[in-house]
Amino acid sequence: MGSVAVSWIVLVLGFLFRRRGSSPAESKRDGTAAVGFLLQVSGYALVGFIRRQYRTPLFDLGVVAETGIALCTILLATTSVWFALSAIMILGKQWSPAARIVDQHELITRGPYNIVRHPIYTGLFGLMIATGLALSSVWAVLIAAVIYLLGSLVRIRSEEKLLLEHFGDQYAAYQRRVPAFIPSLGLGSRSGT
Protein backbone atom coordinates (compact mmCIF):
# COMPACT_ATOMS: atom_id res chain seq x y z
CA MET A 1 0.00 0.00 0.00
CA GLY A 2 2.91 2.37 0.70
CA SER A 3 3.94 2.56 -2.95
CA VAL A 4 0.38 3.28 -4.06
CA ALA A 5 0.15 6.06 -1.44
CA VAL A 6 3.44 7.52 -2.70
CA SER A 7 2.08 7.38 -6.26
CA TRP A 8 -0.98 9.35 -5.15
CA ILE A 9 1.23 11.94 -3.45
CA VAL A 10 3.37 12.30 -6.57
CA LEU A 11 0.25 12.70 -8.72
CA VAL A 12 -1.23 15.38 -6.47
CA LEU A 13 2.08 17.26 -6.14
CA GLY A 14 2.72 17.02 -9.88
CA PHE A 15 -0.72 18.39 -10.55
CA LEU A 16 -0.40 21.21 -8.00
CA PHE A 17 3.07 22.29 -9.09
CA ARG A 18 2.70 21.93 -12.85
CA ARG A 19 3.78 24.88 -14.97
CA ARG A 20 0.93 27.24 -15.45
CA GLY A 21 0.61 30.33 -17.50
CA SER A 22 -2.32 32.49 -18.20
CA SER A 23 -5.23 30.29 -19.17
CA PRO A 24 -6.23 30.73 -22.81
CA ALA A 25 -9.73 31.96 -23.54
CA GLU A 26 -12.26 29.20 -24.01
CA SER A 27 -14.01 29.12 -27.37
CA LYS A 28 -16.25 26.06 -26.96
CA ARG A 29 -17.29 23.67 -24.16
CA ASP A 30 -19.36 20.49 -23.87
CA GLY A 31 -21.05 20.06 -20.50
CA THR A 32 -22.00 16.39 -20.95
CA ALA A 33 -18.45 15.44 -19.94
CA ALA A 34 -19.40 16.33 -16.34
CA VAL A 35 -21.56 13.18 -16.19
CA GLY A 36 -18.56 11.10 -17.20
CA PHE A 37 -16.41 12.82 -14.60
CA LEU A 38 -18.92 11.94 -11.87
CA LEU A 39 -18.89 8.30 -12.98
CA GLN A 40 -15.09 8.22 -12.93
CA VAL A 41 -15.04 9.70 -9.42
CA SER A 42 -17.64 7.11 -8.35
CA GLY A 43 -15.29 4.33 -9.47
CA TYR A 44 -12.52 5.84 -7.36
CA ALA A 45 -14.85 6.20 -4.39
CA LEU A 46 -15.80 2.55 -4.64
CA VAL A 47 -12.22 1.26 -4.41
CA GLY A 48 -11.44 3.82 -1.71
CA PHE A 49 -14.37 3.06 0.57
CA ILE A 50 -14.89 -0.68 0.13
CA ARG A 51 -11.79 -2.09 1.74
CA ARG A 52 -10.71 -5.55 2.64
CA GLN A 53 -9.37 -6.24 6.10
CA TYR A 54 -5.89 -4.78 6.66
CA ARG A 55 -3.08 -7.17 5.72
CA THR A 56 -5.50 -9.58 4.09
CA PRO A 57 -4.37 -10.75 0.65
CA LEU A 58 -6.47 -10.00 -2.42
CA PHE A 59 -6.38 -13.70 -3.30
CA ASP A 60 -5.19 -16.49 -1.03
CA LEU A 61 -2.61 -17.81 -3.49
CA GLY A 62 0.47 -18.06 -1.33
CA VAL A 63 3.42 -15.81 -0.67
CA VAL A 64 4.98 -16.03 -4.13
CA ALA A 65 1.76 -15.13 -5.97
CA GLU A 66 0.93 -12.35 -3.49
CA THR A 67 4.43 -10.93 -3.93
CA GLY A 68 3.94 -10.98 -7.70
CA ILE A 69 0.59 -9.18 -7.36
CA ALA A 70 2.22 -6.61 -5.05
CA LEU A 71 5.05 -5.97 -7.51
CA CYS A 72 2.59 -5.63 -10.41
CA THR A 73 0.52 -3.22 -8.32
CA ILE A 74 3.59 -1.06 -7.61
CA LEU A 75 4.57 -1.08 -11.28
CA LEU A 76 1.03 -0.24 -12.37
CA ALA A 77 0.74 2.63 -9.88
CA THR A 78 4.07 4.23 -10.77
CA THR A 79 3.71 3.92 -14.55
CA SER A 80 0.12 5.15 -14.39
CA VAL A 81 1.12 8.29 -12.51
CA TRP A 82 4.00 8.93 -14.90
CA PHE A 83 1.65 8.48 -17.88
CA ALA A 84 -1.02 10.87 -16.54
CA LEU A 85 1.46 13.53 -15.38
CA SER A 86 3.36 13.39 -18.67
CA ALA A 87 0.14 14.04 -20.53
CA ILE A 88 -0.82 16.94 -18.25
CA MET A 89 2.62 18.51 -18.65
CA ILE A 90 2.53 18.21 -22.44
CA LEU A 91 -0.92 19.79 -22.59
CA GLY A 92 0.25 22.73 -20.52
CA LYS A 93 -2.27 25.58 -20.56
CA GLN A 94 -4.68 23.54 -22.68
CA TRP A 95 -5.30 21.07 -19.84
CA SER A 96 -8.66 21.31 -18.14
CA PRO A 97 -10.98 18.83 -16.42
CA ALA A 98 -13.76 20.18 -18.69
CA ALA A 99 -14.27 19.19 -22.32
CA ARG A 100 -13.38 22.40 -24.11
CA ILE A 101 -11.59 24.05 -26.99
CA VAL A 102 -9.46 27.10 -26.23
CA ASP A 103 -8.17 29.89 -28.43
CA GLN A 104 -5.20 28.69 -30.49
CA HIS A 105 -5.90 25.10 -29.45
CA GLU A 106 -3.11 22.78 -30.63
CA LEU A 107 -3.66 19.12 -31.46
CA ILE A 108 -1.16 17.26 -29.27
CA THR A 109 -0.04 13.89 -30.66
CA ARG A 110 3.41 13.49 -29.08
CA GLY A 111 4.52 11.75 -25.90
CA PRO A 112 1.76 9.66 -24.31
CA TYR A 113 -0.65 11.08 -26.90
CA ASN A 114 1.23 9.00 -29.44
CA ILE A 115 0.21 5.87 -27.50
CA VAL A 116 -3.44 6.69 -26.71
CA ARG A 117 -5.62 9.71 -27.44
CA HIS A 118 -6.71 10.07 -23.79
CA PRO A 119 -3.65 9.17 -21.70
CA ILE A 120 -4.82 11.00 -18.57
CA TYR A 121 -7.88 8.75 -18.36
CA THR A 122 -5.70 5.72 -19.05
CA GLY A 123 -3.22 6.70 -16.34
CA LEU A 124 -5.93 7.45 -13.80
CA PHE A 125 -7.63 4.15 -14.62
CA GLY A 126 -4.37 2.30 -13.95
CA LEU A 127 -3.94 4.11 -10.65
CA MET A 128 -7.51 3.27 -9.66
CA ILE A 129 -6.88 -0.42 -10.41
CA ALA A 130 -3.61 -0.33 -8.44
CA THR A 131 -5.38 1.32 -5.51
CA GLY A 132 -8.08 -1.33 -5.63
CA LEU A 133 -5.52 -4.14 -5.76
CA ALA A 134 -3.79 -2.68 -2.72
CA LEU A 135 -6.88 -1.91 -0.63
CA SER A 136 -10.15 -3.21 -1.90
CA SER A 137 -12.01 -6.39 -2.71
CA VAL A 138 -11.99 -8.05 -6.10
CA TRP A 139 -15.69 -7.28 -6.62
CA ALA A 140 -15.26 -3.62 -5.76
CA VAL A 141 -12.35 -3.33 -8.22
CA LEU A 142 -14.36 -4.99 -11.01
CA ILE A 143 -17.46 -2.84 -10.44
CA ALA A 144 -15.33 0.31 -10.09
CA ALA A 145 -13.56 -0.51 -13.34
CA VAL A 146 -16.86 -0.80 -15.22
CA ILE A 147 -18.14 2.48 -13.72
CA TYR A 148 -14.87 4.28 -14.51
CA LEU A 149 -14.82 2.94 -18.07
CA LEU A 150 -18.41 4.11 -18.64
CA GLY A 151 -17.46 7.55 -17.34
CA SER A 152 -14.41 7.62 -19.59
CA LEU A 153 -16.54 6.66 -22.58
CA VAL A 154 -18.88 9.59 -21.90
CA ARG A 155 -15.96 12.01 -21.54
CA ILE A 156 -14.13 10.67 -24.58
CA ARG A 157 -17.22 11.03 -26.78
CA SER A 158 -17.77 14.56 -25.53
CA GLU A 159 -14.16 15.62 -26.06
CA GLU A 160 -13.80 13.92 -29.42
CA LYS A 161 -16.93 15.61 -30.74
CA LEU A 162 -15.34 18.98 -29.97
CA LEU A 163 -11.95 17.96 -31.37
CA LEU A 164 -13.46 16.63 -34.60
CA GLU A 165 -15.43 19.85 -35.07
CA HIS A 166 -12.31 21.93 -34.46
CA PHE A 167 -9.59 19.91 -36.23
CA GLY A 168 -11.65 18.00 -38.81
CA ASP A 169 -9.68 15.60 -41.01
CA GLN A 170 -6.50 16.08 -38.98
CA TYR A 171 -8.22 14.68 -35.88
CA ALA A 172 -9.98 11.95 -37.87
CA ALA A 173 -6.59 10.75 -39.14
CA TYR A 174 -5.25 10.80 -35.57
CA GLN A 175 -8.26 8.72 -34.45
CA ARG A 176 -7.51 6.11 -37.10
CA ARG A 177 -3.85 5.91 -36.11
CA VAL A 178 -3.98 5.99 -32.29
CA PRO A 179 -6.38 4.07 -30.00
CA ALA A 180 -8.60 6.10 -27.68
CA PHE A 181 -7.92 4.57 -24.26
CA ILE A 182 -6.27 1.14 -24.29
CA PRO A 183 -2.76 1.06 -25.79
CA SER A 184 -2.32 -1.24 -28.76
CA LEU A 185 0.23 -4.01 -28.63
CA GLY A 186 2.62 -2.28 -30.99
CA LEU A 187 0.54 -2.89 -34.09
CA GLY A 188 0.76 -0.21 -36.75
CA SER A 189 3.07 2.76 -36.99
CA ARG A 190 3.17 5.65 -34.56
CA SER A 191 4.49 8.94 -35.81
CA GLY A 192 3.97 11.79 -33.36
CA THR A 193 4.17 15.49 -34.05
> In this predicted model, what pLDDT tens digit does every residue of 25-70 receive, in sequence order?
555 667 788 899 999 999 999 998 988 877 776 667 777 888 888 8
Higher-confidence residue: 63 or 75? 75
Nearest CA to 67 out of 44, 75, 48 is that of 75
In DSSP terms, 185 is beta-bridged to none
The pLDDT score that the predictor gives to residue 61 is 73
CB-count burial class (<10 Å; 0-12, 13-18, 19+) for 169? exposed
